[in-house]
Amino acid sequence: MVENKQQRFRFSEAPIWDLQRTYYEEEGMKAWKNDQVPQYITSNPMIATAYAEMIFGFLQDLSHKGDISEPVTILELGAGAGRFAFHVLHKLCELRDYAGIVLPPFRYVMTDLALKNIAGWQQHPALQSFIQQGMLDFAVFDAVSDTELNLVVARTTIREGDLKQPLVIIANYFFDSIPQELIYVGDGRIFECDVVIEFPENFNRLKPSEALKNMTLNYEHRPAPEYEEAVYPYRDVIALYQKELEDSHILFPVVGLKLLERLNQLSQSGLLLITADKGDHRLENWEFAEPPELIHHGSFSVTANYHAIQYVLEQRGALSHFPTSRHYKDLNVGCILMLELPMSYSNTRLAYRRFIERFGPDDFFGMKQWVDQQIETMGLQQILAFWRLGGYDAEFFIQSAQRISSLLPDASDEEILDIQSGIHIMWSSYYVMEQRYDLALDAGLLLFEMNMYEDAMQFLKQSVDEDEDEAVPTVLYCLAICSYELGLEEAALAYIREALVLEPGHKEALALLKCFE
């Protein structure tokens, strides 16, 4: 209960963090419905392929070292809707099967704070085969305090020192969403930057997302000599900020750093961190930084301080990779090897160079934003090329299906076959989310237009069978045509009659019916 309209808090202890937790616990997987919380940028097949390539390189490195008997645990923090995990596993299994080389076994563990998400993953059809093969498990995990992993499927607990192989940690849009300290550097001194929150009148009756949007945040400084004491665990990076920065507000990831320390204790061999966020690793980008503005999207996010994470772990012997030849725009992807002889993990580092540094998820997302605006002017070859680049992503197909349809009259036989092949590849790696598109319908109608009746019938039947609403007469008519062309006359008649029940005057269905008279 808020008694005073305005209250002052240490930034890491402000009620915004509790509201954040409550939002995700209440919404569960619905938090990502219709991109209420953005997910595409870190959940599309292209970024998943990049991560799978780095993990595959890491497995190769372990194999070359002779470490092939013990399984490797891949831990995803804040796995959200689950789409990213699915795509990574799908691609990682493809790479393993294609390479045909000896690798250590691996187990992917999806974690989140929300129990609803765990239940949703366990029941998701796309994840069942991975669960049955023993390569996917789940755990409720609180990044602020938990020290062990209680696996849901295996019904075992991973505690300190249990893992013989290094732990692989995936943290996408994670470090920007957990509590941070906020400090201010000025005149060579460190100040704590408290937040003064003005609450709306009806605060206690608002949903978490509404409460977060309607708060007003202001910031006030106070001396914080504890950061300058020699015993402060992150004194070196704080001293660097004192020396190099001026008039700067710094989000300092104490919770994130302590989390990595706890997770590092689970393994006897260190960790590999692969992380993507709206975060800065360059020190100069923190100079003259203003107080943080909360970016609202159902929940909220701030800018992750990758510089502090990189600096602290490097001081402890880690090797880190962040983009060096360019600046990120929307997504900064880093790879940190907290391992003995990190330079010896050459396949991991080469994968980062090829799939992040040369052309990575941030580049792809920037291109996609442009392509989204240009689809109606693009030719079929350009659409197919971008679709391949994005890993035959279903979302792009849905956006471009109408344009592809309009280009079919002038398509070559090779282009028609490429569309057909792409649809099947896309379908094999499709992950249904809360904002469920009728992908089967779009695919089926396009195949129907290309006179690929057997394939079209497969997708259109699935659309009709799974649609909770009444079937559309036109779709039933298309199924009738498919059946007729395939010599399935009884099925064709059944579809015609069903279409005519719904729309007695359907001209095309009536004309087709005459063929049976």
pLDDT tens string 385-402? 999 999 999 999 999 999
Residue numbers of the domain that contains 225: 180-249
- % of the chain at pLDDT higher than 70: 96
Same domain, 281 and 320: yes
- Distance separating alpha carbons of residues 479 and 494, to the nearest angstrom: 10
Q: What is the pLDDT of residue 35?
A: 52
Same domain, 46 and 116: yes
Which of 201, 230, 249 lies at the terminal end of a domain, its last residue? 249
> Helix %, strand %, coil % for the chain, to 5?
50, 15, 30
Position 28 confidence tier, pLDDT thresholds 50, 70, 90 = low
- Distance separating alpha carbons of residues 496 and 515, to the nearest angstrom: 11
Same domain, 86 and 150: yes
**Would you give the distance in Å from CA 96 to the centre of its chain?**
22
Q: What is the pLDDT of residues 123-168, one digit of tens each?
A: 999 999 999 999 999 999 999 999 999 999 999 999 999 999 999 9
The answer as to whether 346 is a domain residue is: yes
Nearest by Cα to 257 from 241, 235, 239, 240:
235
Tokens 């669960």, located at residue:
131
E-assigned strand segments in 319-381: 319-321, 332-338
Which of 227, 249, 271 lies at the terminal end of a domain, its last residue? 249
Q: Which CATH number covers residue 476?
A: 1.25.40.10
Same domain, 150 and 229: no
Same domain, 401 and 327: no
Same domain, 386 and 329: no
Name the domain count of the chain.
3
Same domain, 188 and 165: no
Q: What is the pLDDT of residue 36?
A: 52
Q: What is the pTM of this model?
A: 0.93
- Distance separating alpha carbons of residues 486 and 278, to the nearest angstrom: 52
Q: What is the pLDDT of residues 443-461, one digit of tens each?
A: 999 999 999 999 999 999 9
Question: What's the Cα-to-Cα distance from 245 to each of 222, 282, 291, 314, rounded to whole Å?
Answer: 18, 12, 15, 20
